[in-house]
Amino acid sequence: MRERLEELRVEALAKVAAASDKKALQEVRVAYLGKKGPITEVLRGMGKLSAEERPVIGQVANEVRDAIKQEIDKKEQLFDDAEVEAKLAAESIDVTLPGRPVQRGTKHPLTAVVEEVEDAFIGLGFTVAEGPEVEVDYYNFEALNLPKDHPARDMQDSFYFTEELLLRTHTSPVQARTMEKHKGKGPVKVICPGKVFRRDDDDATHSHQFMQIEGLFVDEKVRMSDLKGVLDSFVKSFFGTDREIRLRPSYFPFTEPSVEVDVSCGMCHGKGCRVCKQTGWIEVLGAGMVHPRVLEMSGFDPKKYSGFAFGMGVERLAMLKYDIDDIRHFYTNDMRFLAQFTGA
Ligand code: 2NL
């Protein structure tokens, strides 16, 4: 019986050595170690052995079985390892391969200008407010002291949907709405950027859709000198610390008194050149002290409160800052124009 077991060991190990894949290995396992295999059969026949032989043969049988099992397990591990290696090799990526270059977009110049203006005023304690582009007559005109017969309300000049509803012609209605929300209690300190619309024929300096930024500060004892200080700070931060402002009297229905604000020419520094049309000054915005009627209509007591307001065109600011000669560049999306504004 011992010889039979040794034969089985040699035979089985030869078959393990010859097995070329896991399936062949599994066949060897079943054939030699399975319930119907020769070793099980030997162990089952042990009852016929003498009491002296039984433990000796039993030990040999166990040894042979363990040796075969160990060889099968070892070889199976080799197959498993090879499988993992093959998979890793197949899935490997070459991390040294250079990536494909991506086209990076740039910020639209109007977006960049709006953000710069916002930053300048946020630094002075203003917050940013937005409102609807489709506006009702009341906020766009009435609340700003533009009564029903005012020439600015001419149907020819605005995009009306109905008698009551139109595309806003300025961002002032956002400020009127903001004041109303404060319910007569100051301070109100906001800037309002956004698109506005006017029925106009487009040319180098006019667009039927353009952008505005308006500002409003209402509180007790707000004075014209506060307006001057805020605008001087803004101009120095947006155009450069070497620039100055100058106020000239003007007229707007929603402010009294009203002013036009000029900035000193950055090209010639006052000497006169093509940019400032030989005057040394460039008009950049309109402003004034909020008309008492306007304060009153939005819920503020004009005896207790005063305020200043201002408005400027974003395209005009951008054209001045970057020496752009045609407003239509902002809306025709020529990549050669847009790609110049990298923010650098
Ligand atoms: C300009 C002039 C201006 C305002 C806008 C305003 C708003 C309220 C009350 C009073 Cl709620 N005023 N806005 C005031 C003065 C001038 O804009 O030339 N814009 C391009």
Average pLDDT over residues 256-262: 98
The residue whose C-alpha atom lies closest to atom 17 belonging to ligand 1 is 311
What's the chain's Rg over C-alpha atoms? Answer: 44
Task: Return the pLDDT at 144.
Answer: 95
Tell me the per-residue pLDDT of 16-74, one tens digit each, with 9 for 90 and over: 888 888 898 888 888 888 888 888 887 788 888 888 888 888 888 888 888 888 988 89
Pocket test for ligand 1, best of 179, 195, 206, 214 (most atoms within 8 A of CB): 214
Q: Is 113 in the pocket of ligand 1 (CB under 6 A)?
A: no
Number of C-beta neighbours around residue 120 at 10 A: 18
pLDDT of 40 reads 82
- Model confidence at 236, pLDDT cuts 50, 70, 90, reads very high
Chain CA centroid to CA 39, Å: 73
Looking at the predicted structure, is the pLDDT value of residue 292 above 90? yes
Cα(213)–Cα(211) distance, rounded to whole angstroms? 7
Residue 282 pLDDT class (50, 70, 90 cuts): very high
Give me the residues paired with residue 307 across strands.
218
Q: Quick one: which atom of ligand 1 is closest to the CA of 179?
A: 11
Indicate the pTM of the whole model.
0.74
User: How far apart are alpha carbons 155 and 153 in whole angstroms?
Assistant: 6
Local structure of 86: helix, strand or coil: helix
Q: Mean pLDDT over all residues of the chain? A: 92
| Residue 63 is assigned to a ligand binding site | no
Q: Is the CB of 175 under 6 A from ligand 1?
A: yes
Q: HSE on the CB side for 118, CA within 13 Å? A: 14
120-175 pLDDT, tens digit per residue, is 999 999 999 999 999 999 999 999 999 888 887 877 789 999 999 999 999 999 99
Predicted confidence (pLDDT) at residue 343 exceeds the cutoff of 80: no
Cβ of residue 145 lying under 6 Å from some atom of ligand 1: no
